[in-house]
Amino acid sequence: MSSVVPMLEKELSELFYMYFLSFSIPSLLLFFFLYKWISNKSSKLKNLPPSPPKLPILGHLHNLGMLPHRTFKSWSEQYGGLMLIYLGSKPALVVSSAKVAKEIMKTHDALISNRGRFSINDKLFYNRRDVAACSYGEYWRQMKSIFMLQLLSNRRVRSYRGIREQETSLLMEKIKQNNNNSSAVNLSDMFMVLTNDVVCRVAFGRKYSENYQGGGIDIKVVLKEFVELVGTFNVGDFIPWLAWLNRFNGLNAKLERVAKNIDLLLEEILTDHSDRLNQTGNDSDGENENEAKDFVDVLLQVQKENSAGFPLERDSIKALIVDAFSAGTDTTYTVLEWAMTELIRNPRIMEQVQKEVRGIGGNRDKITEDELPKMKYLKAVISETLRMYPPNPLLVPRETTQDLKINGYDICSETLVFINAWALQRDPATWPEPEEFRPERFMDSSIDLKRQDFELVPFGGGRRICPGISFSAAINELVLANLVYNFDWALPVGVTPETLDMSECPGLTIHRSAPLLALPTPHTF
């Protein structure tokens, strides 16, 4: 009896295998040819943009690599400034020229201002109740008006000058203290802490970098995981029947944990602010007092007074706070990181910017924001940094809301649109010697970050342009000016400009893959 069972199992296995060969494989072949037939038929019916070869089901997903902006640039050299790719079954345009970017963000801006729906954004941004990820429409207009008028107006940005100057002075002191050890300082880490502290003080009214653990939650760990998740690729968004993989690779569990911790943290912050505002009463009559309020105070006041013209729900407030933090920290510190990288590896440019800053600063202890408008070369250094190293090289993807024509090609509704800022800002047709770091190109240039010049779009353009340009510029200019004013800089022993690691790490925001280490020498006036 014991010998019969294995024989029976073997026969059943063979029968199953034969069944699989006779049924499953022909079915898969039929599916493949049906897919190709439908794909070719639909392609003949429309004048579609050029597209690299793709695989069934996967489309071009398998070829994107760890740095898609570089992959797209290499493809664009063969297929042009507008090409069509497929992320699974989802069609997507990749724009790599200023001419086509202008069509996207100006000519057809109203029809391509939607955002694609991604499950990670749904979870982290409270079902996309923020500004950056929400769908284009009336809700977006309402949220953007709050963001621009109440949080990021020029007056509001100026009101946080004291915070920027205080935190910049603390950074200079920290570098001087580390210099006593005659060792290299980790500028990447210092920039991350600085921008985190500035944004926390502006948004929450206090810093959270000093081992804060509210309700047992380590905010530094949560925010680090949050940034990582925002830049994570979720295969289930493009091949839905593979979404089950996220239960096994840990993505779903991590997403649930981080979303829960972010919400607990924001609940604690909102409760603390509400209690304090209730105790002190409404002090918004005094303009100066009002300007001293942080983001949370302002949003709670708008909610209480219903001054937005529509009910502002608690989850919407949380989503706006998450927007402010995620947009204000990661993208800001990466600009400082790459700017200092290029200055240190280009002594001539460093000498030129130091000559300007020190000439304007005189013998003062530090540079304040009063001196910044005079520093034209410093601003050119930052513009050149943003040209070569846009923080979000593919910007935030858009989505078409109806069928339309772009550059003579037929584009279907619900097509994703990636604007490859990294590629179009290195286009030799617009930028001579685009791989060279040359701030001089901006000294007499008509191209400006704050205008709709589509050759330079690190903050996007049109209706979906990043509202935090002024906020980011204020931090970057002040910090960079003080770094070159107070210190002379050199690479660590054994590292030369030629051997310095310039590789990028993957993610939504492109940082250096290795931290920037440098040797500071305090400048004597």
Residues 125, 322 contacting (CB under 8 angstroms): yes
Question: Alpha-carbon distance 24 to 36, whole Å?
Answer: 18
Does residue 214 sit in helix, strand or coil? Answer: strand
Burial (0-12, 13-18, 19+ Cβ within 10 Å), 3: exposed
- In angstroms, what CA-CA distances link 354 with 186, 350, 374, 439, 457? 21, 6, 13, 14, 27
Residues 84, 91 contacting (CB under 8 angstroms): yes
Question: Alpha-carbon distance 325 to 523, whole Å?
Answer: 34
Does 200 appear as a known binding residue? Answer: no
Chain-centre distance of CA 404, in angstroms? 28
Question: Alpha-carbon distance 312 to 142, whole Å?
Answer: 10
Residues 113, 462 contacting (CB under 8 angstroms): yes
Question: Alpha-carbon distance 280 to 219, whole Å?
Answer: 27
- In angstroms, what CA-CA distances link 204 with 201, 277, 323, 414, 452? 5, 13, 13, 37, 32
Q: Which residues are annotated as a binding site for heme?
A: 466
Q: Which residues are annotated as a binding site?
A: 466
